[in-house]
Structure formats: structure tokens, C-alpha cells
Amino acid sequence: MTPFKNLPSHGRSGTPRRLFLGLMAAVALFPAASMAQGQKVFRVGVTQIVSHAALDADEKGFEVGLASAGFKEGVNVMYLRRNAQGDLAAADTIAREFASERVDLIHAIATPTAQAVMRTGTRIPVVFSSVTDPVLADIVPSNSAAGQKTGTHVTGVSDLWPVRLQFETYARAVPRAKTWGTIYNPKESNSLSHIQVMRETAQNLGLTLVEATVDSSEEVGPVAAWLAGKVQAITVTSDNTTMANLEAIARVCDQHKIALFAGDIDSVARGAVMAYGPDYFLVGYSAGRKAALVLKGIRPGDVPWGPVEIFSLVINTRAARAQGVTIPPELIARADKVLN
């Protein structure tokens, strides 16, 4: 049986109803925010760990989600946008800033920034997004499963990738590749949970996984070059340090004719052969709809957190040619989008 038989397809004409219908119905139960002059302007602190295509799309989706519920920048919302640029110490500083400023709500994009906010001990409402495993990261209580209420000041959206299905799919694209490489920052807890599943999947598929770690963005390119002489394909984890420097890996893969696979569709245009994963604009949009409920007076702990549920297969034939990969026709046929 093909692993794609029951895969959900990505809606091309608008926001997938299955993902957002429940949230939209809930928001509709509450009156739209008044736009009258003198009405409260909500201050929303946005803390992002680093800039890359996926997280930037998340931030945009969040703001669109809030705006669609009546919370518009310059009218009744003011954003305090901060970016740690991959510096964990800076993420802590930003979190403390928002806590002392007593913003009305914090949007924490990615695991390290959400953890930084939690370390402040603030009780300001927090809506997280692009967090791989919020339970493992101690962002939500251990007894709060996906789809449940946290009972705390936190809610949000997890971007947990379908790691096993991704690896199985990518292996079908390059069946002769028996030794695979991956790069990640061990300081990111989201990467550690992801890499564990990758190890198990590689073993089940009879593949060898060569792991390389980095501590900073500057190390990604050189480490990719080191991997090039040892592996036949590279797949990245949901690691922000690596994803922010995907182009550096792509250049190495083009030079050495090594297939590169990503896990989020926003990274495919940056030089990966393919990705089966989430659209991060929709991750942010879903988080924005949850934030709208909070700004309308609902306790964050009463708004269930949950994972993104819509995944897409996107293929980059230009990158495939550059890296010497011939994409099987059946994968092309099943792709939601093909970049030429």
C-alpha cells in the first residue's frame, strides 16, 4: 500500500476547513471587537527565535488570523515584534522584556522562545506556534494531550512533523541512497525529539543515519561539507539553526550531487528536492484564531491546544536536477505542487 493513499491534501483555494472550522465557530460566539475610537488597543508581543521561510510565514499567518477575527494592526492591535536571531540568551531577554512591559498577549514562535517565556514565570496569556512537542518542552502540562485544555495561561499550535512518513517517502525518491546525513543543534529540544524518531525510522528501513551537530548558524555550511563525503542524501530536522541556513546545505548538495530533503514546504524553494510537511502560514493562522479567542476574554487554558493537521507534498524538479535526482513519476503525480 502506498503511504500516500490516505494523505490529506492541501486546499489550494483557501484555508482548509477541517483544520479551522471548529475555531471559526468558536470565535463567532463572541462579538467582534469594537473599532470605535478610544477602544482598547491590545499590545501583542511577538518573539521569534530566528528568521527563516517557515517561521516568517508563521508570523504572517498569525497576524492574518487575528485580523480575520477583527483584531487589526493600527486599529485595535499593536505588535511588538522581536527576533532573537538564533541567540538563546537574546530569547530570554526578549521574554523578560515582554513580562516587564505587561503586554496583553505573547505570541511565542518556536520551541526555544516559548521555553524562554515560560522561564520568566509570567502569567501573561501565551499563544505558542511552531513548537514540535510542547509537553516534552514543558510548555504545557504533562497531563494535557493534544486537543485538550491546558488549564494554564497557555495555548497554541504544535507543528509536529510526520517524521516516519517523511523519511519513508524521501527514501523512495532515492532508493539507492543507503547512508543518510542530518544536521541539528542539540540545544533545541524540538530537534532532539525529532532526531529520535529519525533514528528509529532509519533502522527500520535498513539505512545508516550519520548525525552532525552544530552550535551556531556559521557552522552549518562547513558541517554540510563534512557530511558530503560520507552520505548519499541529507534530510533536515525541525531544527531552527539548520533551517535558517538551508541554502548553505543546498549549495553543498548541488556541488556534490547529494539529494537534500526538507520537512516544511516553505523550504523547498530554497533548494530542497522535496518536502512532505506543513504550511507554516496555516500554523500561524490557526494560532492567530486561538489568540483572538483569548483577546475576546476566554482564558487561554480553556482554549484547547493542538497539532497542525494538514500536510502537503511539494517537489522541486530544478533542485532535483542540480542534485542528480530522478523523481519517481508516482511521486510527481501525487504532489500538491511541483516547482520547475
Distance of alpha carbon 46 from alpha carbon 293, whole angstroms:
17
Q: Which residue has the cell 543507503?
A: 178
**Contact 73/59 with Cβ under 8 angstroms?**
no
Query: Does the pLDDT value for residue 30 go beyond 70?
Result: no
**Contact 282/308 with Cβ under 8 angstroms?**
yes
Distance of alpha carbon 6 from alpha carbon 252, whole angstroms:
35
pLDDT score for 17: 38
Beta-carbon contacts of residue 61 (< 8 Å; ≥ 6 apart): 280, 281, 282, 283, 284, 285, 286, 287, 288
Distance of alpha carbon 159 from alpha carbon 19, whole angstroms:
13
| H helix or E strand, kind and range, residue 282 | helix 280-295
Composition of the chain by helix, strand, coil, percent to 5:
40, 20, 40
pLDDT score for 39: 81
For residue 244, CA distances in Å to 52, 126, 210, 276, 331 come to 5, 24, 21, 18, 27
**Contact 243/223 with Cβ under 8 angstroms?**
no
Q: Which of 138, 67, 79 is nearest to 104 (CA)?
A: 79
Beta-carbon contacts of residue 200 (< 8 Å; ≥ 6 apart): 164
% of the chain surpassing 70 pLDDT: 89
How sure is the predictor about 236, in pLDDT bands with cuts at 50, 70 and 90?
very high
Query: What residue type is assigned to position 76 of the chain?
Result: N
How sure is the predictor about 269, in pLDDT bands with cuts at 50, 70 and 90?
very high
pLDDT score for 18: 42
pLDDT score for 37: 56
| H helix or E strand, kind and range, residue 247 | helix 246-256
pLDDT score for 323: 97
Q: If you average pLDDT over every residue of the chain, what do you get? A: 90
Q: What is the maximal distance between C-alpha atoms in the chain?
A: 65
Beta-carbon contacts of residue 322 (< 8 Å; ≥ 6 apart): 253, 254, 271
Query: Does the pLDDT value for residue 208 go beyond 50?
Result: yes
Q: Catalogue the E-assigned strands of the chain.
A: 42-48, 77-83, 105-109, 126-131, 154-158, 179-184, 208-213, 233-235, 259-262, 274-278, 306-307, 311-316, 337-339
DSSP for 156-208, please give it: EEE----HHHHHHHHHHHSTT--EEEEEE-TT-HHHHHHHHHHHHHHHHHT-E
Query: Does the pLDDT value for residue 312 go beyond 70?
Result: yes
- Tens of pLDDT, residue by residue over 53-106, are 999 999 999 999 999 999 999 999 999 999 999 999 999 999 999 999 999 999
Q: Which of 309, 319, 235, 323 is nearest to 279 (CA)?
A: 309
Distance of alpha carbon 18 from alpha carbon 49, whole angstroms:
29
Torsions phi, psi for 315 (to 5 deg): -120, 140
% of the chain surpassing 90 pLDDT: 84
